[in-house]
Structure 1
Amino acid sequence: MANFSTHLKASTIVSATFSSVLLSMAEVNGFQALGLFIVGALAGLLPDLDSDKSKSLNSLFSIFALLAAGIVLLNNNFDSVIETWLVGAMMYVCFMYVIKPIFEHFTVHRATLHSISAVLMFSILTLHAALLVGVTLYIAVLSSIFIFTGAITHLILDECYSVDIDNKELKASFGTAMKMIDLRYPITSLSQVAITAGGIYFAQPYWTDISSLFTTWSTKLQTLRFLPDLHNLPWQSWTW
């Protein structure tokens, strides 16, 4: 199993690649690309929210608590500095002392959150959460995609670490990371599937627009230039 640092580095690289492609396609501006990059990088830590290590869990929830507080503060106007501080502090306290203990009590490491169904659940919840705070459908869909990409990168990396290349054998942990659902915990797994199905159902009003977005992106990707035009470089026209 890859460690905290390795997961963060991997999701950072993948997220940077995707956000730079969007920037090259002129689909987002610089600020939006930066925001999506941060979302994708942090999403690489999501499957470890059920970590048994208190230090890792505290770090993860501190990061997500600050991110959630930042989103709320940036998308709402408050009348005073004190009010802004209080809302930010309440968000942080809620994550660290309400949501975190619930996760610690009900989750087991490498169980239901370490599955493709959980990744899909995180993605659809991100879509609805983004729309709920007033983000445009365009950015909400991109945020959902970056969440999916970052989280699935985590699962793939853990499976890669389950292969012992030197001894040409599979470790005992092989197959525990990238699984569709965890049948050992049927109630939790079915709950994840139900939440995902519900999220997809309530996203019906946006299906046509989302489909159009994917069609547009697919068309632009086919015409995207990855290599520079060697016959028309900017500095070739410079005069000395």
Structure 2
Amino acid sequence: MANFSTHFKASIITSAALSTAILAVDLIPLIQVCGLFIIGSLAGLVPDLDSDRSKSLNTLFSIFSLAVSAIFILSFDFNSLLEIWASLLLIYGFINYAIKPIFEHFTVHRGSFHSISAVVLVVLTTLNLAMWLNFSITLAVLSAIYVLVGCLTHLILDECYSVDINNKEIKASFGSALKLFDTRYIAATLFQFTFIGLNIYWMWHSYDEIFNTFLNIKNTLVQMQFLPDLTKYSF
């Protein structure tokens, strides 16, 4: 499988490519595109939250703690510096000392978190969280799209590294990343599907708005001019 550095670089590249397309059609302000670029880059690391290596896991959770803290601080108004510090400490402590041990105990690397069902769960959770934070519907849908691209980039890269081109063989790990769901760990898979269902229920009242926004984004990107218009230049 690809290492941490390779995954991070790949997610940065795909997130940057998507960001240039968004900028080209002027869908949202530049500052929001920068935020989405960061989200997309971090999303490429999400499947490795089940990593068995303590260094990778500590790095990932430290990064996500900072990202969540930044989003929280920017989304709510605080009256004092003490409130900001207290919020940062609570978020960092909750993620690293409550959420992280759960991942360490219940997840297995290349297990249920390396699956399409896990990607669906993360994407839907991102969409619901963005709407709960009062993001505009366009920004919320784009956040989900960036997370989708980042996660899929990770899984596809893992599958590519499962093919040994030089020795012309397929490694035993081939197919373990892009599986629909993990049949080996039924409890974890049921947990995923339960929360996918809850996410679908939570966004029930916004279905039409989400769908129309997605179509608008798609149609806008489709109409994007890819090649320069040479007719405006005189030679």
TM-score range relative to shorter protein: over 0.9
User: Residue type of the partner of 1:148?
Assistant: L
2:108 aligned partner: 108
CA deviations over 1:119-144 (Å, ceiling 9, x no partner): 00000011111111221222111111
Secondary structure of the 2:174 match is: coil
Query: How far apart are the structure 1 equivalents of 2:135 and 2:27?
Result: 16
Which structure has more relative contact order (CA 8 Å, sep 6+)? It is: 2
> Under a length normalisation based on structure 1, what TM-score does the superposition of the two structures give?
0.94
Deviation, structure 1 residue 221 = 2.5
1:12 aligned partner: 12
Deviation, structure 1 residue 54 = 0.6
Query: How far apart are the structure 1 equivalents of 2:146 and 2:18?
Result: 8
2:124 aligned partner: 124
CA deviations over 1:49-96 (Å, ceiling 9, x no partner): 010111100000000001111111111111111111111121111111
For structure 1, list consecutive stretches of 5 or more residues without a partner in the other structure. none
1:60 aligned partner: 60
CA deviations over 1:220-239 (Å, ceiling 9, x no partner): 22321011112325xx7xxx
Deviation, structure 1 residue 42 = 0.3
Query: How far apart are the structure 2 equivalents of 1:81 and 1:231?
Result: 57
Query: How far apart are the structure 2 equivalents of 1:212 and 1:148?
Result: 18
Query: How far apart are the structure 1 equivalents of 2:94 and 2:70?
Result: 14
User: Residue type of the partner of 2:126?
Assistant: T
CA root-mean-square deviation:
1.4
Query: How far apart are the structure 2 equivalents of 1:78 and 1:219?
Result: 39
2:26 aligned partner: 26
1:96 aligned partner: 96
Deviation, structure 1 residue 185 = 0.4
Task: Give runs of aligned pairs for residues 1-240 of structure 1, distance below 5 A.
Answer: 1-232=1-232
Instruction: Name the count of aligned residue pairs.
Output: 235
Query: How far apart are the structure 2 equivalents of 1:91 and 1:54?
Result: 20
Secondary structure of the 1:182 match is: coil
Query: How far apart are the structure 1 equivalents of 2:96 and 2:83?
Result: 20
Query: How far apart are the structure 1 equivalents of 2:198 and 2:48?
Result: 24
Deviation, structure 1 residue 218 = 2.7
Check whether the contact 2:162–2:173 (CA below 8 A) recurs between aligned residues.
yes
Secondary structure of the 1:79 match is: coil
Return 133-142 or 117-126, whichever deviates more: 133-142
Secondary structure of the 2:66 match is: helix
> Under a length normalisation based on structure 2, what TM-score does the superposition of the two structures give?
0.96
User: Residue type of the partner of 2:95?
Assistant: F
Secondary structure of the 2:61 match is: helix
Check whether the contact 2:22–2:221 (CA below 8 A) recurs between aligned residues.
no
Higher Cα radius of gyration:
1
Secondary structure of the 1:231 match is: helix
Check whether the contact 2:65–2:91 (CA below 8 A) recurs between aligned residues.
yes
For structure 2, list consecutive stretches of 5 or more residues without a partner in the other structure. none
CA deviations over 1:129-162 (Å, ceiling 9, x no partner): 1111221222111111111110111000000000
Q: Percent same amino acid among aligned pairs? A: 49
User: Residue type of the partner of 1:42?
Assistant: L
